[in-house]
Amino acid sequence: MFELELTPGELSLPDLKRVLAQAVRITLSPACLPGIEAAAQTVADVMAQGRTVYGINTGFGLLANTRIEADELETLQRSIVLSHAAGIGELLPEPIVRLLMVLKINSLARGYSGVRLQVIESLITLLEKEVYPCIPAKGSVGASGDLAPLAHMSAPLLGEGEVSHAGERLSAAQGLEIAGLRPLVLAPKEGLALLNGTQVSTALAVEGLLRAENALAAATVIGALTVEAARGSRTPFDGRIHAARGHRAQIDMATAYRHLLDHSQIEESHRDCRKVQDPYSLRCQPQVMGACLQQLRAAAEVILVEANAVSDNPLVFVAEGDIISGGNFHAEPIAMAADNIALAIAEIGALSERRMALLIDSQLSGLPAFLVDNGGVNSGFMIAQVTGAALASENKSLAHPASVDSLPTSANQEDHVSMATFAARRLGEMNDNTSGILAIEWLAACQGLDFLAPLCSSARLEQARSALREQVPFYDKDRYFAPDIEKAMGLVNDGALLPLLHKGCRLSN
């Protein structure tokens, strides 16, 4: 568990990465406390004045014009949480739940939501005690916020629903007892403030982004290994080529390849060969991977803004005493960012699969067919490439933009929705697929390099080869292949190759 002093609105990408990785104990910056209290008091003042304000003393959605009497307001806030907890499917993983809770705390503590400090502190306590609400993954269209999943997040505060703790699934009542809390009675606006917001979509997008960055790093290193194994040319990585085009991300990726390839015995061994050009999957890596990096950079900017945003409704503006209804809960920015990440993930995998196909083709690579001796008796990497092709094809379907879809909800009051939650959630499956493709290429590239022994690659690429060979030996004859892929995937997913990526290509340092 790590300590995080939260200044609302100032979370960084490294902060978010750390929350995904381990439990967190949050301390609110004292500077934010007066703003929280003032916003809650503004809501109380509106009630005292008898004003009718959406979300405070009215119904919700299509029922927004229905005024709720004072003696029913407590029931109103409880009812919205319970009725909206309508998600289905597998539960979101604990790291995602932990992150979305941090994002919700960050948003509420900005002082525009009108909730009491007690509500925020209850969420902080659940986090500290590692009591995580059980949240079904499906049921949000990403407009009016992530209503269903955030209702499942909020229900345990009321003593309803289920939680997980230390690997066990418990009732909310048991979870509150572990955390030393009593069920909350929500004040006006608090139920709506908890349910409105894009925190679930954003948490899923953060994870998808960080895993995509890891895939980009692995693909860059593994792609450089393939250049060496296929005795490809270094000329396409010349900085002058990329400066002439001018795309910053492409220039940075070309630098990363030069950083990895450097000089090697393998390079010297074919310096005077007759080959004029390599296939695109080798020589156009800076262009394709640069385009992917550009998408990830743009998405990271959007996602970080949203991670620090106030996205519930209505919002409380203390200075003017105004409570204004708008639409910050509409998650279109996250939906589009996630769609762009999906394109990058798909292309990273697609290019990797093509490089791997090149390696097993003896006419293109100059290596033994299917990267194995005694071909015919041994099939080598033949079906591993088929697996890579299957995964790349799946990603093409999954990359279809979710944000272009919309189905009206709430009796057409919510007549355009973002589908951001699915847009971000599907990134997990896409990253899994691309990790598998990269693992197969990594195995193939190292196999190819081993056939070039005793020649060595560059120092950095030899580190990458050694990291794999510590787990997976040379494929001398056919053996049960799946464990090799599983071990290589584990290394990819653990970020074993990320430190080898040039710092200029990382989203945060």
**For residues 321 and 49, what is the distance between their CA atoms, to the nearest angstrom?**
12
**For residues 254 and 504, what is the distance between their CA atoms, to the nearest angstrom?**
11
Q: By three-state DSSP, how is residue 469 classified?
A: helix
- Catalytic one of 54, 132, 257, 480: 54
Do the bridges between strand 24-28 and strand 2-6 make them parallel or antiparallel, or are there none, so unpaired? parallel
Nearest to 37 by CA among 130, 141, 118, 151: 118
Residue 469: C-alpha distances to residues 271, 387, 464 (Å): 27, 21, 9
**For residues 330 and 443, what is the distance between their CA atoms, to the nearest angstrom?**
43
Does the active-site annotation cover 54?
yes
Cβ-count burial 165-191 (b if 16+ within 10 Å, e if not): beeeebebebbbeebebeebebbbbbb
Do the bridges between strand 136-138 and strand 88-91 make them parallel or antiparallel, or are there none, so unpaired? antiparallel
Helix H or strand E encompassing 137: strand 136-138
**For residues 338 and 502, what is the distance between their CA atoms, to the nearest angstrom?**
24
**For residues 504 and 509, what is the distance between their CA atoms, to the nearest angstrom?**
9
Beta bridge pairs of residue 136? 91
Do the bridges between strand 162-165 and strand 168-171 make them parallel or antiparallel, or are there none, so unpaired? antiparallel
Burial grade of 67 (CB within 10 A; 0-12, 13-18, 19 or more): exposed
**For residues 485 and 103, what is the distance between their CA atoms, to the nearest angstrom?**
35
Residue 127: C-alpha distances to residues 23, 24, 101, 164, 294 (Å): 7, 7, 8, 11, 34
Token pair in block for residue 368? 């033994």
Q: Name residue, tokens 């194994």.
A: 229
Beta bridge pairs of residue 3? 25
Active site (catalytic) residues: 54
